[in-house]
Structure formats: structure tokens, C-alpha cells
Chain A
Amino acid sequence: MDWNPTVMARYLLETPSVAGHGGRLGQRYHAHGDDWIEVAQPWHEGLVGDEETGIIASGPIIALMDVATSLAVWHRCNAFVAHATLDLRVDYLRPARPHQTVIGRGECLRVTRSIAFTRGIAHDGDPDDPVAHVAATFMATTGSYPRVAA
């Protein structure tokens, strides 16, 4: 399957029969560059973790970054590879502003035969003032990742 980041991200996030949890959260493709890809998470009431402030729960941020870093791996490989998240660490630098769309940006650092290393940030408008910083690793579940030039 040819990898087109925009088409694949939209397919995975915005096709009702495929989208699952990301679709339920309302995530959609936002943008990409040569070595990064972004997913948007618009604010809505169902994401709220603290009703007094309207600040969204940390779960949707983790879900967003899981998707963004996953897409970054496929973007790096130039292919879709079945994989599973091995671990994901998130530091919440500050709360996301209520009613703002949160953007998750993923970058793939390196792909080995079976493991992919990634990092990412979540921001709500200004990438220089991130909401969260993330590091995640993935494991190819069937076969291996394709060889990627360093």
C-alpha cells in the first residue's frame, strides 16, 4: 500500500468503520512535514476531566499522542506496519486551555527491525509553548519494520 500521510491519516482517523477510539474522541489529521505529522483533538465536553475548570482529562492527551507518534513511525517507514505501543511516557507541562483544539505532533527518532522510537509534543496553538512532552516506543506485531535509511 502506498503511503500518503494525509490520505492514510484521514483514512485511519476519519473512516467510521476504522476510526474506533480516535474517531470517538473526534481526532483528525492536521498537518505533516518531512519528519513530523500532526493530529488535531478539538475540545468537547466529553473530554473533560475537571468539570470546575473544563480542562480535558489526561487520557485524551495520551490517546492523541499514541496516534500521532504511531503515524510518525509509518511516516518514517513510508508504509503502514501493524504495531503495538510498548510504552508511553507523558509529562504534562501545563494544562491545555479549555475550548482550544490540542495538536499532537509526532516524530520518529529511529526504527529498528522490531522497535520504533518516537517523541512528540502536544500544544494548543503555539508549538514553542507545549502542553505535554511524550516519548513512546512501538513494537512491530507481525514481521518487522522495513529497513529505513538513517
Chain B
Amino acid sequence: MTLPPYAQLLGVTLELVDDVPEIVMPFGQHVVGRPGYLQGGAIAGLLEVAAVAAVRHALAAEAARIKPINATVDFMRGGRDHVTRAAGEITRLGARIATVTAVAWQDDRARPIASARMNYLIERVTG
């Protein structure tokens, strides 16, 4: 799975953990909001990359275009100057719509810094 140019801008990489894609974002000045904290947009971007990776992984080799419909992001605690990880869990994968919940955490996955529920339109490429 290749990540889009935007993922490179965020400085994230993909790791497969127990066959689940996890997106890893090291801390850096390019993702800072207020001093010492991650910007909400950078966290949301990380969640988005993780959600799309989860859908791509579920679709495996199938050629499809994944288009975002909407996203609701909840910020639970400030993201500090640590590595942040995110993973998407597919709630439903239908013929046309995928619903994904993505979670981002730092030291402890049980204490997420943010989560998002995202809907995607899947356009399968045939022939």
C-alpha cells in the first residue's frame, strides 16, 4: 500500500501490527499548533490517513477510488510532543459506503487523544 503525498507532508509511515495498518506520526514542528501540542488539523489528517488505509487494506487488491463524504472528529486530550499512532476500524463495508472509526493515541492506546467517525464513498473500478 502506498500512502499519498499528503502523508509524506505529515511525516507518517505505515506499519502492519497483527495485520492491521497503523499509521505512525513522529512529533515535529510541522505538526505543531500551540507550542508543545499537536495541531487539531494534523491529528485529524493522521486519523484520515489511518481510516483510508483501513479501507484500502480491507479492499485488498481490489481497484477502487475512496472518496470522503464526511468526518466527525472528537478531540479528547491535547496531543503532546510524542509519537502518535492511529488505526482505523471498519464499522461497515458495503458495496458503496464504508464507515470507519479511527482512533489516535500516544503512550497508551486505552487513553486516545482523538477519534473520528468517517464515511467514504467507494467507487469500484471495473474492467
Range class of the B interface residue count: 20 to 34
Chain A residues near B72: list those with CB within 8 A: 87-90
Nearest A residue to B11 via CB reads A24
Does B30 lie within 8 Å of A62, measured CB to CB? no
Which of B6, B32, B65 contacts A48 (CB under 8 A)? B6
Bound CA–CA A61/B32 (angstroms)? 16
CB of A111 closer than 8 Å to a CB of B:
no
Does A21 lie within 8 Å of B39, measured CB to CB? yes
Q: Identify the stretch in A3-11, A51-59, A71-79 within 8 Å (CB) of chain B at 4 or more residues.
A: A51-59
Which of B8, B31, B78 contacts A46 (CB under 8 A)? B8
- Residues facing B in A109-125 (CB within 8 A) are none
Chain B residues near A87: list those with CB within 8 A: 72-75
Does A46 lie within 8 Å of B9, measured CB to CB? yes
Does A46 lie within 8 Å of B6, measured CB to CB? yes
Contact with B along A2-42 (1 / 0, CB 8 A): 00000000000000000011101100000000000000000
Does B75 lie within 8 Å of A47, measured CB to CB? no
Task: Report the number of A-B residue pairs with Cβ-Cβ less than 8 Å.
Answer: 116
Query: How far in angstroms is the closest Cβ of chain B from A118?
Result: 13
Does A22 lie within 8 Å of B4, measured CB to CB? no
Does B44 lie within 8 Å of A24, measured CB to CB? no
Would A59 and B48 be within 8 Å (CB), given that A24-B9, A89-B70, A90-B71 are in contact?
Answer: yes
Does B69 lie within 8 Å of A46, measured CB to CB? no
Does A51 lie within 8 Å of B4, measured CB to CB? yes
Does B73 lie within 8 Å of A62, measured CB to CB? yes
Chain B residues near A24: list those with CB within 8 A: 9, 29-31
Would you mind naming 18 contact pairs between A and B with Cβ atoms under 8 Å apart? Answer: A22-B33, A22-B39, A45-B5, A46-B8, A48-B5, A48-B6, A49-B6, A50-B4, A50-B65, A59-B44, A64-B41, A65-B41, A66-B40, A88-B75, A89-B73, A91-B70, A92-B68, A92-B70
Contacts from A to B (Cβ < 8 Å): 20-22, 24-25, 45-52, 56-60, 62-67, 82, 84-92, 95
Contacts from B to A (Cβ < 8 Å): 4-6, 8-10, 29-34, 38-42, 44-46, 48-49, 52, 65, 67-75, 78
User: With contacts A21-B30, A59-B6, A62-B48 known, what are 5 further pairs, Cβ within 8 A?
Assistant: A20-B33, A21-B32, A46-B5, A57-B49, A62-B44
